[in-house]
Structure 1
Amino acid sequence: MPNIAPCCLTHGPRAGKLPVVHAPSDSQGRQAFAPDSRQAWVRLALALVIGSIGSVGMWSVVVVLPGVQAEFGASRGDVSLAFTFTMLGFGLGGVAAGKITDRLGIVVAIGLSIGFLGVAYVAAGLSTTLWQFIAVYFLIGLGTSATFAPLMAEVSHWFERYRGLAVTIVASGNYVGGTIWPPLVNWGVQLAGWRTTHIAVGIFCAVTMTMVLLLLRAQIGGATRRDHENAPPPRVDLRLSNNTLTALLCIASVSCCVAMAMPQVHIVAYCGDLGYGVARGAEMLSLMMAFGIVSRIGSGFLADRIGGVRTLMIGSVAQGFALLFYLFFDSLSSLYIISAMFGLFQGGIVPSYAIIVRESMPASEAATRVGIVILASVVGMSFGGWVSGVIFDATGSYAAAFLNGLLWNALNITIGAGLLLRARQRLAMASTT
């Protein structure tokens, strides 16, 4: 019977304290990097800033859609393809940036992303046709990609005791950006138009992200420094091959994000259909994102105590309950409350996949594997938003769409439960040896 990594027994109320790890010295006698150190927290702060700035690519297109539609005289569906191309670039770019991170380091990956982001935003502002604008947003998605999945994987190498918290903090950069960027972009559009705003965003991102990246490079110690070379080993053995576990996490990620997309993509339209107005729906969406930040950080604390699989299960079950409430309550006050609940429940689910990857797989593959799983989540969000609209068109109501989300969420829970049972079996087998 293969040995089980001792760290896999550290989760739970009876877990003992982790041993104090003294930083080793390198070949020149200098003190090497130590996980959970002050330097690790400095790196995390810089990574959060990079993620918050770089996530602009996920939010700007939503704000500029009406202005772009009016200028090019296009349909709302045609202009919305820019968001689809953004998500496609974001998902595929996450895998590519993950491979670059595993081989050359996070500094190189983010440096390339900064180049894509800066050039693409300027090109978007100079686009002369709608299809140029849409194609450029694929490059914007590529530029945004390294600031999420690869950055989460990289941060996981800097921490041991507080790994879950660190991963969820850097993942919150996406929600921080979702809170800050939309009003800034809207202000720019109202003041100078969408073209000038795009050019200004591109220049701002290129300059500020480069400055922060140089600070991070100094903390890491080189452009091609790969932190996974000295990262702690996996702490959980699920008796699954890396490819099998990755496939299961991808299916779970698609499932949870199909369910997640229903309220996130359609809450504004839903409120309009109920007669409350789209402004109320926008407020609910903002409330959802704000509580999502709380959820992500809270799930990090939880994962450090009970592990990534258990945290995934709690978030998935809670998300299912929130979706169920949408089926039975549709008053204005109840929708505000349920939207806040939904944000509080779902925010930690996607980062849990990154934590599970890092707990169960070699550090040298972490960024690539996390990128693949995040790509699956992008597919789930894209499909979930689309299929919910199709169901509404077919039924004239969002009730069936919420039910569809519940069924997909049940598949996610089933996979999580299977992984949890395997983890418990491993713990039981370890206790008898």
Structure 2
Amino acid sequence: MALELEKSAVEPRGLRSNDRDEKDAEAGFAPSAQPSPPSGDSTSTNQEISYPEGGLQAWLVVLGAFCGTAASIGLYNTSGLFEAYMATQLLPNESSSKIGWIFGIYAFVTWFLGVQVGPTFDAVGPTMLMLAGSICTLGGIFSLSASIEYYQIILAFSILTGAGTSLLFNPAVASVAHWFDERRGFASGIAWIGSGIGGVIFPLMIQSLLPQIGWAWSLRAFGLVLFVLCTVSVTLCRSRVPPRNGLDTTWRDAIPSARIFFDGTGAMALTTAGAVLTDLAYYIPMTYIPSYYIARQQLSSEDVLTGKAAFAYQLLAIANGSSCVGRLLAGYISDRLGRYNTMIVSLFLCAASVLCFWLADILSPEVVNIGLLIVFVMLFGCVSGSNVSLLPVCMGQLCDTRDFGRYYATCFSVVAFGALISIPVAGALIDAVDEPGKKKFWGVAVFTGLCYVAATLCFVWVRLRVKGFSWKTKW
């Protein structure tokens, strides 16, 4: 079976180098951004990758990736509930900035480990990586259920669960790229919907269980759901494109290389910068939406576990539910209008949603109705979900599929440093604003909006640098 997959993944090529560049240009790649194959690498110079673009096996991989992103990024998107509970119940005497480091370190570990996970996926495939990720994720959640001290939470959630998240979602997302090319945006969008579904179900599940069985047993029940999702994901996710060096692949082929940033165009470097700013901004509202609602409604710490605070967690579910729509639509549209084109529109709408709706709600003390907040949550969830799922698809246009894991993971290892400071900086901004209720969040909203504006400019620069000023060009 493995031999048949390898034969179907590559076809004889026999093209001259300039013919290869013309073919790349027609497909939407920048020829100068393509990696030069190693000398003597007959696999990359004499063979061309083909893709099924569908079929039972391919869609089962998408289903596996769906479950993998649900168990990993779905958990990532549930951080808002954890932050609200920890700030009011587990660690009520700690500052917002110090609590922010719990989630900053978690995000950092999630993205930074990708620097090795991605290249290892290129060399050996997803199965063992995802199995290790499942063990770390489950071990982290069950350990968190018994943690009461700050350092225990850091070890259980930030380190162990963060490692599991990275080992799960990186191979899951990369697996889809082995089965789709022309329909990669749509297929990746479906896979990424899993993270939105997880972000809808998990907060509602834990919030409903908390008053009945408490924090520890709620997390243990949550762990059982993650176990099912991880099992399905590990079973179904498969790679297909053989390693660049075939049977000669060694551990050296899994070593990351900073050379991908020096492609002669600056496209990968600016795309990575845009990704850093995007993730730095995205994680802030997704973490602080419940806390913002609790502060906005002036609820006490005793109300956090009761029905009065239920809508705080439902807002998080609404944001994640809206992200499912955004990811599916963005994937479909990007295959037709271009991945970078769609990404630029998505980032612009993120900036508009934060600065025009969230900031407006914060600075309007006379507005008691939560309609403006709901509009922000729905719009932000939709457009931010789409730019998260489009990031790996955009990077896929800058490299050979056999190098996708290396490019994707190296980029997000840089993104990790933005994620590391994101929540601590946001917490420090909240602590620095000496205003009552919801007004203390105005600095956070301005910071988030400006990060999205800067990210938009990065992607516009790459689009203009590679394809010029004609927006009719699909790219």
Same fold (TM over 0.5): yes
Distance 1:351 1:211 in 2: 21
1:91 CA displacement:
1.6
Task: Tell me the residue number matched to 1:390.
Answer: 428
Distance 1:288 1:357 in 2: 25
State which of 259, 271, 277 in structure 1 corresponds to 2:281. Answer: 259
User: Equivalences for 1:178-257 in 2 at 5 Å?
Assistant: 178-202=199-223, 204-206=225-227, 209-214=230-235, 216=236, 220=238, 226-227=240-241, 229=243, 241=263, 244-257=266-279
1:105-134: per-residue Cα shift (whole Å, max 9, x none)? 011211111121233333334557542332
Task: Tell me the residue number matched to 1:45.
Answer: 63
User: Aligned letter for 2:452?
Assistant: N
User: Would the alpha carbon gap of residues 186 and 160 (structure 1) be closer, same or farther in structure 2, given more than 3 Å must change?
Assistant: same
Could you tell me whether the CA contact under 8 Å between 2:80 and 2:289 is conserved in 1? no
Could you tell me whether the CA contact under 8 Å between 2:334 and 2:342 is conserved in 1? yes
User: Equivalences for 1:87-98 in 2 at 5 Å?
Assistant: 87-98=107-118
User: Aligned letter for 1:307?
Assistant: G
User: Would the alpha carbon gap of residues 175 and 372 (structure 1) be closer, same or farther in structure 2, given more than 3 Å must change?
Assistant: farther
Taking only aligned residues, the RMSD between alpha carbons, in angstroms, comes to: 3.6
Same amino acid, percent of matched pairs = 18
Could you tell me whether the CA contact under 8 Å between 1:357 and 1:369 is conserved in 2? yes
Relative contact order (C-alpha < 8 Å, sep 6+): which is higher?
A: 2
Could you tell me whether the CA contact under 8 Å between 2:207 and 2:313 is conserved in 1? no
Structure 1 segments unaligned to the other structure (5+ residues): 12-31, 231-237
Task: Tell me the residue number matched to 1:412.
Answer: 455
User: Aligned letter for 1:333?
Assistant: G
Task: Tell me the residue number matched to 1:111.
Answer: 131
Structure 2 segments unaligned to the other structure (5+ residues): 1-16, 29-49, 245-259, 300-308
User: Aligned letter for 1:45?
Assistant: L
TM-score, scaled relative to structure 1? 0.78
User: Equivalences for 1:114-153 in 2 at 5 Å?
Assistant: 114-127=134-147, 129-137=149-157, 138-153=159-174
- After the TM superposition, which of the residue ranges 331-340 and 303-312 deviates more from structure 2? 331-340
Task: Tell me the residue number matched to 2:371.
Answer: 333
SS in 1 for 2:113: helix
User: Aligned letter for 1:36?
Assistant: G
- After the TM superposition, which of the residue ranges 89-98 and 351-360 deviates more from structure 2? 89-98
Distance 2:347 2:443 in 1: 20
1:294 CA displacement:
0.7
- After the TM superposition, which of the residue ranges 329-338 and 379-388 deviates more from structure 2? 379-388
Task: Tell me the residue number matched to 2:194.
Answer: 173
User: Would the alpha carbon gap of residues 401 and 185 (structure 1) be closer, same or farther in structure 2, given more than 3 Å must change?
Assistant: closer
Task: Tell me the residue number matched to 2:399.
Answer: 361
Distance 2:27 2:431 in 1: 50
Could you tell me whether the CA contact under 8 Å between 2:112 and 2:415 is conserved in 1? no
User: Would the alpha carbon gap of residues 151 and 127 (structure 1) be closer, same or farther in structure 2, given more than 3 Å must change?
Assistant: same
SS in 2 for 1:36: coil
- Length, aligned pairs only: 395
